[in-house]
Chain A
Amino acid sequence: QSVLTQPPSVSGAPGQRVTISCTGSSSNIGAFYPVHWYQHLPGAAPKLLIYDDINRSSGVPDRFSGSKSGTSASLAITGLQAEDEADYYCQSYDNRLSGWVFGGGTKLAVL
C-alpha cells in the first residue's frame, strides 16, 4: 500500500488528453512538500518529467504538465503519442515516515 495513491491504469487515443492523479495526505503533499513525476519506459531507467509540482525537466515536451492542490497532485499529458506508453510515478516526502515516498505507479496505454 503506497502512501501516495495513483490509479493503476489510464488510457487514451492518440491526440487525446489524459490526467494521472496522485493523492496523498497531510504528512506529505498536504504538508507542502513538492511533488515530482517520473516516466518509466519498459527496460529503461526512470526519467524525471516534472519537478517541484509544475516545472518540466530539461527536454520534456510541453505536452506534459503538472499541478497540485491541497493533498493531491496531477500529471496531464495532451496530444497523446504512442511513445508516451509507459508507467508514471509521483514522488514526494513524508514527514511521518521521515523519508521519500513514491506513488504506486500508473500504466498509461495509448489505444
Chain B
Amino acid sequence: GAGVSQSPSNKVTEKGKDVELRCDPISGHTALYWYRQSLGQGLEFLIYFQGNSAPDKSGLPSDRFSAERTGGSVSTLTIQRTQQEDSAVYLCASSLNVGGIFLKAFFGQGTRLTVV
C-alpha cells in the first residue's frame, strides 16, 4: 500500500473486554513496530518484529498484551481483559533495513482506544 494502515481508527470498549488492533505495513518493509502514546505523553515502545526473527517483546506492559505478525506482513496487537489505563493511541510503524541500516520509520495514523 501507499502507507501504513491501521484499523480501526477509533475503538471504544468496555472494561474487561478483549480488543484486536490491526496494522498493515508498507509492502516490503521487514521491520514493524508497535508503540503506545498516552495523552500528551511520549512514544512507549511495545514490540518489534524483524523478518522471520523472534520478536522483541520487551516493551509489552503485561501478559494481557500480545502481538503477532503473519507472513511477515500484517500485524495484530491484542489486549485481553482491557483496563482503563490501557486507554491510549496505539501507533504502528514500519521501516526497511538496507545494508544493515534501519531507514526512516513510517507511522500509521494510529488506533485511539478508549476503555470505559
* Co-assembled chains A and B: no
| A positions within 8 Å CB-CB of B | none
| B positions within 8 Å CB-CB of A | none
